[in-house]
């Protein structure tokens, strides 16, 4: 699926991604999606592939793959990892320079 969480408010992102996760786990389906929302991937994905500049940057479990150095390479800006109550989120660093990803 191409960006099923795009253009949705947070409640509908949560609903949509939760439905996909339940389908994958309950019906033993393989579901592949693309997203530009790394926090949704952290919350709902079993496996993640991160691409950047036409090449594979990282692949594996979300908590091992969605990390600040990989996201910085993919998106061209610095990220920080936030952990609270056993959950993780990544946020762009405010004021960090943006590096061109097109060369």
Strands 79-84, 48-52: pairing is unpaired
Structural domain contains residue 99 = no
Q: Residue 29 — pLDDT band, cuts 50, 70, 90?
A: confident
Structural domain contains residue 14 = yes
Q: Are 88 and 71 in contact (CB under 8 A)?
A: no
Structural domain contains residue 18 = yes
Entry pTM: 0.86
Structural domain contains residue 23 = yes
pLDDT digits (tens, 9 = 90+) for 43-102: 999 999 999 999 999 999 999 999 999 999 999 999 999 999 999 999 999 999 888 765
The total domain count for the chain is 1
Structural domain contains residue 64 = yes
Q: Are 54 and 64 in contact (CB under 8 A)?
A: no
Structural domain contains residue 57 = yes
Domain that residue 74 falls in: 10-92
Structural domain contains residue 85 = yes
């Amino acid at each position: 699926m191409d960006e099923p969480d795009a253009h949705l408010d947070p409640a509908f992102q949560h609903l949509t991604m939760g439905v996909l996760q339940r389908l994958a786990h309950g019906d033993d389906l393989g579901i592949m999606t693309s997203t530009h929302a790394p926090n949704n991937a952290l919350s709902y994905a079993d496996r993640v592939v991160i691409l950047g500049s036409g090449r594979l940057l990282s692949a594996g479990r979300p908590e091992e793959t969605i990390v600040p150095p990989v996201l910085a390479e993919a998106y061209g800006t610095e990220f920080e990892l936030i952990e609270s109550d056993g959950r993780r989120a990544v946020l762009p660093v405010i004021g960090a320079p943006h590096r061109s990803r097109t060369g």
